Amino acid sequence: MATKVVMEALSPTMEEGRLVKWNKREGEKVTKGDVIAEVETDKAVMELVARGDGVMRKLLAAEGDTRAVGDLLAVIGTPEENIDALIGGAPAKVGASSSSSASGSATATVSAPRLGNAAPTHQAPPSPEPPTEQPRHATEAGGRMRSSPLARRLASEGGLELGMVSGSGPGGRIVKRDIEAAMQRGSSAVRPSAERRAPSPASDFDDIPLTQLRKTIAKRLAESIGPVPTFYLTAEFDLSRVAEMRSAMAEAGDEYKVSFNDIILKATATALAQHPDVNAHWLGDRIRRFNRVHLGMAVAIPDGLITPVIFDADRKGLGEIARESRELAARARDRKLTPEEYMGSTFSVSNLGMFGIDQFTAIINPPEAGILAIGAVADVPVVKDGALGIAKHLRVTMSCDHRVIDGATGAKFLVTLRSMLENPLRLVF
Question: Catalytic amino acids?
Answer: 402
In Å, how far are 17, 228, 232, 371, 426 from 407, measured between CA atoms?
41, 15, 9, 14, 26
- Beta carbons within 8 Å of 317's beta carbon, 6+ residues apart: 266, 428
- Beta carbons within 8 Å of 14's beta carbon, 6+ residues apart: 41, 42, 43, 69
Q: How far apart are CA 1 and CA 63, in angstroms?
A: 26
- Beta carbons within 8 Å of 255's beta carbon, 6+ residues apart: 319
311 and 343 in contact (C-beta within 8 Å)? no
Which residue type does 253 have?
G
Per DSSP, the residues of 45-84 read EEEEE-SS-EEEEEE-S-TT-EEETTBEEEEEE-TTB--H
3-class state of residue 100 by DSSP: coil
CA 376 to chain centre: 24
Choose among 219, 221, 213: nearest CA to 43: 213
Our CA dihedral for 211, 173, 325, 116, rounded to 10 degrees, sits at 50
Q: Which phi and psi (to 5°) does residue 324 adopt?
A: -65, -40
171 and 146 in contact (C-beta within 8 Å)? yes
Choose among 185, 224, 181: nearest CA to 401: 224
